[in-house]
A and B are shown apart, each in its own frame.
Chain A
Amino acid sequence: MSTRFETTFAKGPALVCFITAGDGDTAANLDALVAGGADVIELGMPFTDPMADGPAIQAANIRALNKGTKTADVLKLATEFRARHPQVPLVLMGYANPMIRRGPEWFAEEASKAGVDGVISVDLAPEEDQDLGPALRDKGISLIRLATPTTDDKRIPAVLKGSSGFLYYVSVAGITGKQQAAMASIEDNVQRIKSHTDLPVAVGFGVRTPEQAAEIAKVADGVVVGSAFIDLVEKHGPDAPQHLKALVEGLAKAVHSARKA
């Protein structure tokens, strides 16, 4: 049986959409993303100290926490998403501490029950895989790792070891929400990574427009967009779903245009 990731990426370049759980009407926003053509959902687990994030996602984390969002609420959002959208791959993305607080086995078990396909733990380096990797793999959940412009060829095998689902190439050395890297560098780095693995490679950080997404989709298996959605959630509050849907439609069309007919 193939996984949701395999089925999705087999269709060609995929649009991966990130929003923070507990910021705005998350369930409605997730539905809008899927309705607009999102292929994979990354649901951010809010954390008090989002060290790798820029101002937009930092603020989303704080808004979510100030509203009282708990780990149980994130898992509930995931469970309900899975019930409404049985086919769409769902990734929980966040920082290590909330994931390991009750022990890795607890988290893996709950994520599995919620129907989560993959987990990204931003500050869990491959060197510290023991803290989460074995528990997730045991439950058949993919640990999705990040590669960056500073990840050289020597290091890529260590990053790939124990990872599955897809690889997330962070195209800029920096935090989320800042400018995009040059296309030439993205293409070179994706090529370089793909020479080491058959896993799909999705590219993110700084992608906001359909034009950027279309360019990246020509050279990668996925395009990740986050801060642009977060900005809409902040700006439009309860009216965010219609705006999200409009943006996703444009992005999805751009990404899917790179699919072979």
Chain B
Amino acid sequence: MSEHTPNSYMNQPDERGHFGQFGGRYVAETLMPLILDLEAEYRKAKADPEFKAEFDDLLEHYVGRPSPLYFAPRITEELGGAQVWFKRDELNHTGAHKINNCIGQILLAMRMGKTRIIAETGAGQHGVATATVCARFGLPCTIFMGATDVKRQQPNVFRMKLLGAQVVPVTSGRATLKDAMNEALRDWVANVHDTFYIIGTAAGPHPYPELVRDFQSVIGREARAQMLSRTGRLPDLLVAAIGGGSNAIGLFHPFLDDPEVKMLGVEAAGHGLDGDEHAASLAGGFPGVLHGNKTYLLQDEDGQITEGHSISAGLDYPGIGPEHAWLKESGRVDYTYATDDEALDAFQLLCRTEGIIPALEPSHAIAAIVKVAPTMPKDAIICANLCGRGDKDIFTVAEALGVEM
């Protein structure tokens, strides 16, 4: 592990949950005492070897960690530049990185004596992961999902129901992820006494961005150790897709104090940044306050939140975790974007060259690699987070490619 020097990029947030000017705790008063309790309990859990042992044990035997670090020879050859390596978090139980965080949060919920779990979901991946850990620990679970997404993501809705979750379609607003999060917050305000909210990305009021990052950092810690043992050195570039930013911060964080490692976060540019049909909050948004934190948001000149668009339901969110907002302003991490079409091409490229069907979210990361790998020397190393598998997306991809199933 790197040294945490006073100038470290790793000692954020401050004690008030601020990452520079971002983050914080912007919630209704009803939730404030609970958020403060959660923070106190998290501090205790973080220092408790038993908590860590239980978390590690579940990740190993239930989730299937460590996930492999895989050198991808044929895509490397096809792109003709840097070596492309993938951190295979799509091989996790439930098919994405989301479960790492859910394991950590449900252990916290039980420590706090909470007996009911709620969560929001967009594509349904976080909903499935939450329903999974709730089944594993026998806690009742309610998942809020925009009615539009319920229609688009029927297989995941059925999975959640099989796992015993109640899925509540949310019809307010445009009935997508943002509205699902509003509804989860409304439920939480009314049920604070017994309910724990498992937030699915590294956003929300402090301490969520910090604790989600910590739980997801297993990705970067493993990748760092695996890369060192396989190649004897650190990668030159890390690449990850960004919705709220949890898989990206999980990969990046353990490398932040390694100055030789560059990092690239990839937002979803939908139909392009010229219009409103994208979900790139850093590239096309402004700082503001939503869902408990201050961060970059897609919004109009009056501060009304605008709806994002991405072919990937998991990236279709008008905000981004506050630590990314800060890492962008500090210059430590670079951020770029990929359009729907570029992601679709990258999706097919990985299928064809490596025999791996990626989720549409990491397909955005692969799209960025397609651009950057050829500009780098052949002995350079790119490590990308393959944070989800594509089974959930085949219907969406078929439709986009004009294929009838």
Contact residues in A for B395 (Cβ distance below 8 Å)? none
Whether B33 contacts A151 by the Cβ 8 Å rule is yes
Contact of B24 among A51, A100, A127, A174 (CB under 8 A): A127
Whether B33 contacts A97 by the Cβ 8 Å rule is no
Interface centre among A124, A128, A178 (most CB of B within 10 A): A128
Contact residues in B for A97 (Cβ distance below 8 Å)? 288-290, 297, 299, 303, 305
A6 at the interface (CB under 8 A from B): no
22 contacts between A and B (CB under 8 A): A49-B182, A49-B290, A49-B291, A52-B30, A71-B303, A96-B26, A96-B289, A97-B288, A97-B290, A99-B303, A128-B294, A131-B289, A131-B294, A148-B29, A150-B31, A151-B33, A155-B32, A155-B33, A170-B30, A173-B192, A175-B189, A178-B190
Mark each residue of chain B from 163 to 195: 1 if its CB lies under 8 Å from any CB of chain A, else 0. Answer: 000000000110000110010011001101100
B53 at the interface (CB under 8 A from A): no
Contact residues in B for A127 (Cβ distance below 8 Å)? 16, 24-25, 32
- Min Cβ gap B268→A in Å is 20
Contact residues in B for A178 (Cβ distance below 8 Å)? 190
Tally the A-B contacts, defined by beta carbons under 8 Å.
117
Contact residues in B for A125 (Cβ distance below 8 Å)? 25-27, 29, 32
The CA-CA distance from A102 to B291 in the complex, in Å, is 19
Whether B304 contacts A48 by the Cβ 8 Å rule is yes
Nearest A-chain residue to B31, judged by Cβ: A150
Whether A52 contacts B28 by the Cβ 8 Å rule is yes
Whether B288 contacts A49 by the Cβ 8 Å rule is no
Closest 7 interchain pairs by CB? Answer: A101-B303, A174-B190, A98-B303, A97-B303, A148-B30, A96-B289, A146-B29
The CA-CA distance from A123 to B185 in the complex, in Å, is 12
Contact residues in B for A150 (Cβ distance below 8 Å)? 29-34, 192
- Min Cβ gap B96→A in Å is 26
Interface residues of A in 129-172 (CB under 8 A from B): 131, 145-152, 155, 159, 170, 172
The CA-CA distance from A147 to B179 in the complex, in Å, is 25
The CA-CA distance from A229 to B179 in the complex, in Å, is 25
- Min Cβ gap A184→B in Å is 18
Interface residues of B in 123-157 (CB under 8 A from A): none
Interface residues of B in 72-114 (CB under 8 A from A): none
Nearest A-chain residue to B37, judged by Cβ: A150
- Apart from the given pairs A51-B28, A52-B30, A101-B301, 17 other A-B contacts in the complex at a CB distance below 8 Å: A49-B179, A96-B289, A98-B302, A102-B301, A124-B26, A124-B289, A125-B27, A128-B25, A145-B29, A146-B29, A150-B32, A150-B192, A151-B32, A170-B30, A173-B189, A173-B192, A178-B190
Contact A128/B182 with A48-B173, A101-B299 known, Cβ cut-off 8 Å: no
Mark each residue of chain A from 70 to 86: 1 if its CB lies under 8 Å from any CB of chain B, else 0. Answer: 11000000000000000
Contact residues in B for A27 (Cβ distance below 8 Å)? none
Whether A47 contacts B304 by the Cβ 8 Å rule is yes
The CA-CA distance from A172 to B190 in the complex, in Å, is 8
- Min Cβ gap B213→A in Å is 20
The CA-CA distance from A183 to B189 in the complex, in Å, is 20
Contact residues in B for A128 (Cβ distance below 8 Å)? 24-26, 294
